[in-house]
Amino acid sequence: MSPLAQCLSFSCLLFGVGLAGALTRRNAILVLVGIELMLNAANLNFIAFWRFGPHPEQLTGILFAIFSIGIAAAETAVGLALIITIYRHRGSTNLDDLTSLKG
């Protein structure tokens, strides 16, 4: 397996772990944690492709990763603010209790 393939498989694994957590834990914050892990896996993908790609001097991968980190941070902030507000209104962060959008 080439180094790139190794990196990519590793990031896929990480992604899977994050996905499993997002899909199984009851707490809303932990869903967010899972999402963070997934985002990081994607970042790793970008870096790997930058490192083993054809034009590393163009720094495209690095820039993409930097922007991704920034955006992830913003998203985490807003998401957590939302969860806090929901906790204040509903008294619970349990996803099973937050089913008012049931169809």
> Per CB under 8 A, which of residues 10..29 are in contact with another protein?
10, 12-29
Q: How far is the CB of 83 from another protein (least distance, A)?
A: 6
Count the site residues for another protein by CB under 8 A.
83
Q: How far is the CB of 57 from another protein (least distance, A)?
A: 6
Q: How far is the CB of 2 from another protein (least distance, A)?
A: 5
SS3 label, residue 94: strand
Q: How far is the CB of 63 from another protein (least distance, A)?
A: 6
What are residue 27's DSSP bridge partners?
A: 94
Q: Which of residues 21-80 bind another protein (CB under 8 A)?
A: 21-34, 36-37, 40, 43-44, 47-48, 50-54, 56-57, 59, 61-63, 65-67, 69-78, 80
Burial of 96: CB neighbours in 10 Å, binned 0-12, 13-18, 19+: exposed
Which residues, including other chains, have CB under 8 Å from residue 49's CB and lie 6 or more apart? 4, 61
In whole angstroms, give the CA distance from residue 55 to residue 32: 34
